[in-house]
Amino acid sequence: MSPAQARFLSWVSAVLVDIVVLNLFVEFVHTIVIDSFAISILTAVLLKLMVDAVKGLEQSVSAYFAGKEGAVWKPVRFLAVWLILFLSKFVILEAVNVVFGNHVELGSFIEIVAVIVTMLAANAALVAVYQNLGAREIQPG
């Protein structure tokens, strides 16, 4: 498998997991409403793009401050990363509102945090299972 194929497979599997998570929230949380399954697919893709962008920004800012010398930079790094993670939820909500308007309601700040954390956890679980299955194949048994 080439690196491009691995990235593609990773991205597609992550979006599919996100679609499932998002639609489970639509089904069980009354404040989260999406007009159609097709819009939920597009919403999952937008959320994946936004979460990946936030992760990239958070990692860049964290690396920037980690490279600084002095005790003052550690709390500044923590605060900067926390602000990015906190404020990004509002940016994500606004992006979804701008792109989909009244077709998608992701609830309040708490609901969007729950959706995103669940998506991240579900994707991490998928990766863990995949890696565990691969490790079992390699080990002599």
Sign of CA dihedral 53, 54, 55, 58: positive
Q: Looking at residues 22-27, what average pLDDT do you find?
A: 95
User: Would you place residue 82 in the very low, low, confident or very high pLDDT band (cuts 50, 70, 90)?
Assistant: very high
Q: Report the chain's mean pLDDT, rounded to a whole number.
A: 91
The secondary structure element, H or E, covering residue 20 is helix 3-28
Torsion over CA of 38, 39, 43 and 46, rounded to 10 degrees?
80
Confidence check: pLDDT of 16 > 80: yes
Q: Looking at residues 113-126, what average pLDDT do you find?
A: 92
Rounded-to-integer distance, Cα 122 and Cα 95, Å? 23
Residue 105's DSSP bridge partners are: 33
Residue 33's DSSP bridge partners are: 105
Specify the pLDDT at position 139: 63
Domain-wise residue ranges, the chain: 8-113
The secondary structure element, H or E, covering residue 136 is helix 109-138
Q: What is the pTM of this model?
A: 0.80
